[in-house]
Amino acid sequence: QVQLVESGGGLTQAGGSLRLSCVASGSMISPATMGWYRQAPGKQRDLVARIGSGGSTTYTDSVKGRFTISRDNAKNTVYLQMNSLKPEDTAVYYCKLEAWYGISWGKGTLVTVSL
């Protein structure tokens, strides 16, 4: 069973930046597609960004040009660099791993963006 632990969330003002990290243990992330999802209060959990095992990336339209997903397989870690943050980015951010050996979710990290 892969365990994912997110970190890097916090409170920032609009226009600020945060970098989220997701560290995996139990299995290597190298063959996995890794994703960041977010869930705002009262809303469903939605995809923010995804990175394939080969490095290809996908972003939801609302974060294109502001967020960057990356991975360091040697560190078994995936990152989400978030710039130009907006109040509507406020949510719990979850890391997800999808691989031939299973699917795992982290417990999330809270990002709060104030005006």
Listed residue (106, 56, 102) closest to 77, CA to CA: 106
Averaged pLDDT for residues 99-114:
97
pLDDT of 87 over the 90 cut: yes
113 within 8 A of 15, measured Cβ to Cβ: no
The confidence band for 22, taking pLDDT boundaries of 50, 70 and 90, is very high
One-letter amino acid of 115: L
Q: How far apart are CA 67 and CA 108, in angstroms?
A: 17
The pLDDT score that the predictor gives to residue 54 is 96
- The string of pLDDT tens digits covering residues 24-81 is 999 999 999 999 999 999 999 999 999 999 999 999 999 999 999 999 999 999 999 9
The pLDDT score that the predictor gives to residue 43 is 97
Listed residue (83, 69, 100, 82) closest to 2, CA to CA: 100
Q: Which residues contact 66 (CB under 8 A, 6 or more apart)?
A: 82, 83, 84, 85
The pLDDT score that the predictor gives to residue 1 is 83
